Structure formats: C-alpha cells, structure tokens
Structure 1
Amino acid sequence: MNLLLTVFEIVAPVFILAGIGFSWVSLGFEYRLQFVTRFAMTLAVPSLIFVALMQTEIPGGDLSRFTVATIVANLVLAAVFWLFVRLLKLEQRTYLSPLIFGNTGNLGLPLCIFAFGQAGLGYAVIFLSVTALFSFTYGIYLVAGKGAFGKVVREPMVWATLIGALFLWRGWETPVFLTNTLELLGQMAVPMMLITLGVAIARLTTHSLSQAVWLSLLKLVVCFSLGWFVATVFDLESVAFGVLVLQMCTPVAVTSYLLAARFEADSDAVAGMVMVSTLLSVAALPVVLALVL
C-alpha cells in the first residue's frame, strides 16, 4: 500500500500538469508553443542542467559508469530498431526516429526528480544530455537524410552540459547570486515542459492509430528489457538503475513529430505514435516505477 501511494505521489503531479496544458488548449485559450519551447530550451532547461551538474554529489566513478551505460543502451537500442525496421520493411525516415528517441526531457526529467530527488536529477540530466546530442545528430540525419552537426554547437543545452561537467570536474562554484538566479530559471523548466507536453498532445491529429498501438507496445517492451539488462550488466547503484530504466521507457518524443513534419516524412503516423505511447505511459510508467523503487 505504501509503495502504491509513493508511486501515485510521483506520477500524479506529472500527469496533472500535462493535463492542465491539454485542457488549456482544449478550452480554446492561447498558448504560444513556439515561444515557450524556445524559452525553455534556451534558458530554463540549460540552467537546470548546469546547476544540477555543478551541485551533484554523485561520486565520479558512478557518474562515469552511468554515462557509459547510457551511451551503450542508446546505441544498442538504435541497432535493435534499425534491424526491426529493415526486417518489417517499414519506412526508416518515418519510424526509426520515434522508436529510438523517448521523451526524456518533458516527461522523463520530472519523473526522475520526483522519484529520486537531487541524485536522480543528476543522473537524469546526463541521460537527457546524451540522448539530446544523439537526437541533434543521428536523429536529424534519419529523418532529413543529412547531418546537422552545426546545430549541436548552437544548442544552449549542449554548452550547459559541457560547462556543468567542467565545473563538476574542477569542483568550481558560481557566485551565490548567479547560482540563485540560475536555480530560479531552472525551477521553471519542469512545469513548463510538462504543460507544453500537454499542449502539444492536444494539438496533434492522426488517423494512424492501429499501427501506432502495436509499435508503441513494442517500443515499451524493448526499451524496458534493454534498460534493465544494461543497468544490470553495468551494476548500477539503485538510483542510477532506476533512472536508466525509467528514462529508457519514456514515450515517443514530440520532437519526432516536429522533425517528420518539417522534413516531409509521414508525420501522421508519427503523431499517432506520440499520442498512443504517451497515453500508454499513463499506465505503464507507474508500473515501471514500482519495479525500480
């Protein structure tokens, strides 16, 4: 009973905030998605990442092992789904990116914060940073058929990760006034990301639901199994174990739909996967949390 209450206390704020965004748009109120997203990704999320890395008290060995485990998990996941897409002769430009990339920012980061606290945030930020770098390069290549390596060096989130890692390594601290400012900016990131997720889901439309159901179920099963296997192989400590498995199980990222629409892949099919996998996560993620807590 205590475990069920703990899981509810973790997931309820996440889905309530996303539900607020969904309801806000459904009621016809204005929400400038592009502005909020740009603000979050330019200021709020980079501030959250930098402060989390600078202030993390995770031992260096645990952090390094988790980083390698995250890289390995994502590379193996990409290989597994590449093979799957080839065997079933699905269109790679449409289906491979949403199968690989989960919503480790909007949904995964808040869940890890609520479930595992400051230590979980440190690990979750590492996972988000690795998948973001992967998404900005290989993810865009999958959909567009060309690289976007120049985009990486222009992303504030990338620089926040690199500078935060440098401060962590050297044991540096920013002046208190600056740290307080960055913390305030970072505190906006979680509610903004969750409300924006709800808004984005509310604005999606699709007619490709039947295929989206079994693909979303497949993604969840493969990601959970692979996350658990990699976390076990690398002998991650309990918080790192839970964060890795939880982040691997996040639903299809909304950015996969945006890329499909931008580069003229089958955006309707991707929208279906975003919607179905996100709805599926309402039931699945509490179960995953119960298993890793």
Structure 2
Amino acid sequence: MLIRIVEILFPLFAITALGYFVGRRVKPDLSHANKLNMDVFVPALVFAALANKAFDVSAYLPLILATTLMVVGSGLVAWAVARVAGIEPKTLVPPIMFNNCGNLGLPLAVLAFGEAALAPMVVLFMVSNLIHFSFGAWLFDHRVNVFPVWKVPSVMATFLGIAVSLTQFEVWPPLLTAIRMLGEISIPLMLFGLGVRLAGSRIDSIGFGLFGAVLRPVVGMALAWAIMLVIELPPREQALLLVFGALPPAVLNYMFAERYGQEPDKVASMVLIGNVAAVLFLSIALAMVLD
C-alpha cells in the first residue's frame, strides 16, 4: 500500500518540486503560460472530459450536491472557528472553503483511479470553481459583480461540454482528439506552475499557516465522511470526495487575498505550508480509499 501511494504522489510532487526549484533559481515569468493554461488548456481538458456520449450529467447530480455541501460546510466551519479564535473570517474562510482541486486534484484523480475518474473530478473542480469565482469574490467585496463568472473559459467549456453530452451531438473525432491533446498540456503545466508560484510565496506567519494547513484537510475529510452517510455515491465517487476533502488550500486564495488586501502574507503561509503538508494528508486519504 505504501509503495502504491508513493507511486501515485511522486509524479505530482516531483513536477511541483521542479517548478519550485526553477522558480527559486531562474524566477521565470509564467504569467502568459498560466493565462494560456486557464484560458485554453484547462477548458480543453474540461470539454474533452464532458463532451462524450458516456458522460451523463444526471448521474452526477448526487456528486454535485455532495460537493456543494462540502464547500459550503467547510466555509461555515471555518467561519465558526474564526469567530471563536478571534481571526478575521475573510482571511481564514476562503482557504478552508476552496482547495487545490485543479493543480493537484485533477492529476491525482487520474493517477490514483485511472482516466475514468477524470470526468467526476472535473465535476468536483467546476462546482468549486463556480462557487469560488462567485461567492468567493463576493465574500471579499459585497459590491462585486458575480455575473462575469459565466465568462470564465473553463466555466463556458463546462456548459458547452454538458450541452454536447445531453444532445448526444457527435464531435468530429479528429477534432475531439486535438482538443484532448490540448487538455493534456494543462496537468503538467498546472503542477509546474504551482511550484513556481510557491517559490515566490513567503512564510511570515508560521503558526497561523500551520493552523490553516491542518484545518483545511481535517475539516474536508470529516465533512466528506459525514456527507457520504446521507448521500449515496458510487465507490469511485466516494473515494474522490474523500481525496477532494484532503486537498490543501488553493493558490488562487492568495491571489484573491492580494487583490483585495486581505492579509495576503497569512494566506500565502497557509497555501505554502498546506501544499507541503499535503504529502501527509493525501497519503492518509489514499490509504483510506485504495484497495
């Protein structure tokens, strides 16, 4: 079991570590590459996963509900913890609500459970993204217009892919192959970009960062277990939900905190320490779900 877990996690953290090393030594500007990834490659990955006759969106409704409950429930728990601990809720709540389901979650699902796990993981990813770009932005600024969330390329690709699946429209196979090939660029680029971004982060609040880094997967896995008691899911989706719960805070939380001036140094500490601690928590989650 230990060897299998190492074999699953090693490629993820090896590519991330390489990105971190290059980020420290070379300090490359990946802003254009990251924009291309979010605007072209990730949408291609999402569309290719959803736009096939085997994808039935109605079959994923329980998973959509479970994911929504997990994200919202994590936020409520974080808000309660923040009030009790005297922490500014806007600093703690987003990193606990929104995990690294893109950079780590998508490749981890494929490595651990095979290509068949990509579509349900994309469902988890898109539910989290929709809430992050709408409610997550509103949380920082109640005056923000959440309508542009529908213009996010990965969101547009989601609805287009679902529409193709529902209508049983057959995309020309060579075109679908080209889209799938573009999507395959996104996963290693996300991991490498994650490492480069972490290389530019600072740890100014070690205690606070460690607190958030532990709270995120503990709350996530506990909620996943509780939700699975009331919502019946297939075994693979149960495993993905538990792994989803164990993921660390998303790097996007730091970008939001920096944009809105919400203690970005503390959030950066949670993100950096959380992604390092993910080696432990993802190992625990995989040990719980692998046969």
Q: State the TM-score, normalizing by the size of structure 2.
A: 0.95
Equivalent position of 2:273 in the other structure: 276
One-letter identity of the residue aligned with 1:274: V
Report the aligned-residue RMSD: 1.5
User: Is 1:22 paired with 2:10?
Assistant: no
Deviation at 1:287, TM superposition (A): 1.6
Q: How many Å apart are 1:205 and its aligned residue?
A: 1.0
Query: What CA deviation, in whole Å up to 9, does each residue of 1:251-272 have, x standing for no partner?
Result: 1111111111111110010011
Structure 1: gaps spanning 5 or more residues: none
Alignment partner of 2:114: what SS? helix
SS of alignment partner, residue 153 of structure 1: helix
Q: Tell me the equivalent position of 2:102.
A: 105
Q: Deviations over 1:118-142 (max 9, x none)?
A: 2211111001000000000111112
* 8 Å CA contact 2:137, 2:146 repeated in 1: no
Matches within 5 A, 1:183-202: 183-202=180-199
Q: How many residues align?
A: 290
Give percent identity, aligned residues only.
Answer: 29
Does structure 1 retain, via aligned residues, the 8 Å contact 2:17–2:195? Answer: yes
Q: Which residue of 2 aligns with 1:7?
A: 5
* Aligned equivalents of 2:238, 2:53: Cα separation in 1: 17
The one-character-per-residue Cα deviations of 1:73-131 (angstroms, maximum 9, x if unpaired) are: 22222222222222323112222111211011001111011111122111110010000
Question: Aligned pair in 2 of structure 1 residues 157, 218: CA closer, same or farther (>3 Å)?
Answer: same
Could you tell me whether the CA contact under 8 Å between 2:70 and 2:224 is conserved in 1?
yes
Matched ranges for 1:42-57 at <5 A: 42-55=39-52, 57=54
- The 3 A distance-change label for structure 1 pair 56 and 67 is farther
**Which letter does structure 2 place at the counterpart of 1:115?**
A
Query: Do 2:100 and 2:250's aligned partners in 1 also have CA atoms closer than 8 Å?
Result: yes
1:82 alignment partner AA:
W
Match of 1:33 in 2: 30
- What are structure 2's unaligned runs of at least 5 residues? none
Query: Residue deviations 1:193-249, cap 9 Å, x none?
Result: 000000011110131111211222122211111012212321211110111111122
Q: Which amino acid aligns with 2:124?
A: F
Match of 2:163 in 1: 166
TM-score (norm 1): 0.94
Which residue number in structure 1 is paired with residue 77 of structure 2? 80
| 2:95/2:249 contact within 8 Å kept | yes
Letter in 2 for 1:129: M
Q: Is the 8 A contact 1:93 1:143 kept in 2?
A: yes
AA in 2 matched with 1:68: L
Provide the rounded CA distance (Å) in 1 between the counterparts of 2:53 and 2:228: 20
C-alpha deviations, 1:166-195, integer Å up to 9, x for none?
122222221122101101110001000000
1:118 maps to what in 2? 115
What is the CA–CA distance in structure 2 between the aligned matches of 1:221 and 1:30, rounded to whole Å? 33
Q: What amino acid sits opposite 2:275 in the alignment?
A: T
